[in-house]
Structure 1
Amino acid sequence: MAGRDEESVGVVGGGILGLAVGRELLRRRPGTRVVVLEKEAGLARHQTGHNSGVVHAGIYYRPGSLKAALCTRGRLLLRDYCAEHGLAYEECGKLVVAVSRDELGRLDALERTATENGVPGLRRLDAAGIADLEPYAAGLAALHSPATAITDYVAVARALAAEIEAGGGEVRTAVEVRAVREGAGGVDVTLAVGDAEERLRVDRAVLCAGLHSDRLAPGVGAEPVPRIIPFRGEYMLVRPAKRDLVRGLIYPVPDPRYPFLGVHFTRRVDGSLEVGPNAVLATAREGYRRRDLSWPDLRDTLAWPGFWSMARRHWRTGVGEVVGSASVRAYMRAAARYVPAIGAADVVRGGAGVRAQAVDRDGSLVDDFRISIGDRVCAVRNAPSPAATSGLAIAEHVADAIGWC
């Protein structure tokens, strides 16, 4: 092993997690050779660049879980980071709204979870309180989280990359990691650079490969489970004439059976208003359009026993999501329960993201972050929302776990 000042670390993934990890390692040990490797020609091209831009306050996550702890810490770190670097950060607040009586029990349970997680400023509102905050919203009761915010995660990723390079690290794009192998005295990384193949030897590696995390982790001795099943989340964009009808964020009460939060109204830092996302099984891991199909990706999905167990358990919900994906009217019929004044005629199809949803062999949808720590390799196996909110805190957690003091 090289001396501390000469130590080298390869970080796979140029999204917010990989860049946050690279920055944190350099902050703790200046002089370390840190190389961030990203297969796309630019940074934050996948989950980081295709999410809703929400900075979560910790309402949903099981108390004591990694999500709960790292979301709470990450929000504070991100808020301060944005202030320090002059990046957009707006605490527009969130309403989680119950629109029917059968949702009130779930709202009660969510309030207990949020209170235990220490969500700042949390308030329970009745219908009149909802109208005071969001005059066009409908509902019987709601939880208001004033600290929930919005930001531009792509801008955050670029700032992190600039810090890495300023600290002597390297951020390489258009470099695809084909394999990672842990051996005696180091880690060998096989790279595809155009038509050529390169070898990179580092002392340690951190895998933040997102949609492809399950494909790299077994090569360094990590368990073959969970596997990634891609879900496409599609957004509608509200036309300018109606986008000021929502002041902040309006969410449904989530179904506790699923890690997805449901279709919601989200303001963006550019002033636009989105509705979404839904959650439709994608036929490609980078399948942002309905017509996108990757036979290798689809084969991997269909070959995983956990997929079929999941499908048997949740097929009715899946059918409903497909109907909403195919029909703007059906999509907005559900959303209009929360803001009746915005309907199918008031939106156009917007962008989409793909969520890297980890699924266990028994078909369980993995909810919490999963991070595997080996002798020389750390693999982030599952990091869905609120991973962007938690990114700087996840980086601290990884650095602590590998003994990077």
Structure 2
Amino acid sequence: MIQAPDHPTRDAGFGVYLHWPFCAAKCPYCDFNSHVRLAPVDEARFLRAFQAEIAHVAARTPGRIVSSIFLGGGTPSLMQPATVAGLLDAVAVAWGTTRDVEVTLEANPTSVEAARFRGYRAAGVNRVSLGVQALDDASLKRLGRLHSAEEALAAVAVAASHFERYSFDLIYARPDQTPADWRAELEGAIARSAEHLSLYQLTIEPGTPFFGLAAAGKLVPPDDEAARILYDVTQEVCDRAGLSSYEISNHARPGAQSRHNLLYWRYGEYAGIGPGAHGRLVTPDGRIGTVTERAPEAWLARVERDGHGLTATEVLSAADQGDEFLMMGLRLTEGIDPARYAALKGRPLDAARLDALVGDGLVARLGSGRIATTARGAPVLNAVVRELAG
């Protein structure tokens, strides 16, 4: 049997990300690679293209066993269950999967129905992540969501009836949101969540409608101080409920963390398949970053012509790998192993810089020899990484 190349973070696993780029509507805060199409999507044609790209990437990565699969988007729950089954079958044939492979599908509450969820479960999906985003109708309307709070909670109930593992997302630091409002909303969410919540602070991204509204003064998100108070409320409420933070924006009961996302943050290998997907793979030439064509129809044409939609393959330098490892790993409560950083970067962390960050209360040394950002350091992670990587 062909063995996969060894590398410092091999024990983080090998994952596959499948990007379904289509949505029913484009949210005004979203800068993801998602697209609205008025005509029905030719799922059979796209499935064949996904199968071809999976086979192409698998030929470059022999000896792997897939431990996690994530169907993201876009809105993967707009796919027919048969399409999902075809994707998962292609991954299993190309690489093989572990017996306990985690298979997550993102879903919007507007696209949830019991029959479809039964089909996803039969196809092999064993975890769903619902894009709820808010639990009051006024906020949902402002966020451009197509569902009501009642529909969102009904979707959570449907998910809970079909999957033992499910999660949902909420966005906080919304305009005019008070700490008391957020506390009540979050407590209500926790009462309906089984094991996992993803809680994201609203960011105003260039190129989005929200960016234009903010520039014109028609949308005013909380300032840094107010956003920090909301962040602190998030940690307090979740900790008290037993859903401690395991990553800056993700909270889970013990043992319920998203294995696929942990693979990213622990700097494991993953294949990025589909329009606009990114990957990180280890080859005989070193660790590489891959990018595919973003536009769905252009990606489709490229795959049908070349067998894949890759537009860029870059061998990552030791400096790039070290910096990425820091940026990803220091998002985690468990932090990083400095020896792995040294193996990737080719040199150890600067002791004086690390001591200074520890002295400032931004980084802590853990008993295992690992280092992690503190509650004070997590909100200023970018600055911490810049200092350590310097």
Fold shared by both chains (TM-score > 0.5): no
Higher share of residues assigned strand = 1
Give the TM-score normalised by structure 1: 0.26
